[in-house]
């Protein structure tokens, strides 16, 4: 029933419904399965169609920073979609990319591992270590 990735929707003993985003441990509740699903979309920062509310950041950058932002919004976010997540470039300076993970990745216990061992590696393979020497997580 759910179009959300990594979300389990189940009926509780009291007859209400819960949606559990397994990777992050986030819960949302409703009187019906559909309502619990819609509440989970809100919790993950999605609109009613399942798209993320967070604007793309690539329009804010030029040059290599724009290319990095587009890569994060494209290939990297496609990978993170498996956990209902996405990546955005917040700033880029002195070969350090400041990156925000959102959706299901925001607050996930594995998000730092994902950034340091997944996203950083992908960026360095694509752009080189001289262009992306390091990444820094951005938390709201």
| Measured distance CA(43)–CA(48) in Å, rounded | 12
Angle at 111 between CA 34 and CA 98, to 5 degrees: 115
Structural domain count, the chain: 2
Q: Is the distance from CB of 68 to CB of 97 less than 8 angstroms? A: yes
**What tens-digit pLDDT sequence spans the chain (140 residues)?**
346 889 999 999 999 999 999 988 999 999 999 999 999 999 998 988 888 888 999 999 999 999 999 999 999 999 999 889 999 999 999 999 999 999 999 888 899 999 999 999 999 999 999 999 999 999 87
Residue 1 inside a domain? The answer is no
In a domain, 52, yes or no: no
Q: DSSP character for 52?
A: B
**What gap in Å lies between CA 96 and CA 53, rounded to an integer?**
26
- CA distances (Å), origin 136, targets 31, 113, 115, 126: 40, 12, 8, 18
The reply to whether 133 and 72 lie within a common domain is: yes
């Amino acid at each position: 029933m759910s179009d959300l990735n990594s979300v389990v929707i189940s009926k509780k003993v009291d007859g209400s419904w819960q949606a559990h985003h397994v990777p992050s441990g986030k819960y949302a509740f409703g009187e019906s399965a559909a309502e619990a699903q819609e509440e989970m979309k809100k919790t993950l920062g999605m609109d009613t169609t399942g798209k993320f509310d967070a604007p793309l950041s690539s329009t804010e950058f030029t040059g290599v920073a724009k290319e990095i932002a587009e890569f994060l919004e494209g290939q990297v976010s496609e990978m993170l979609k498996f956990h209902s997540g996405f990546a955005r470039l917040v700033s880029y300076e002195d070969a350090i990319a400041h990156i925000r993970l959102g959706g299901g990745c925001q607050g996930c216990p594995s998000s730092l591992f994902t950034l340091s061992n997944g996203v950083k590696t992908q960026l360095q393979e694509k752009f080189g270590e001289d262009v992306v020497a390091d990444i820094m997580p951005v938390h709201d």
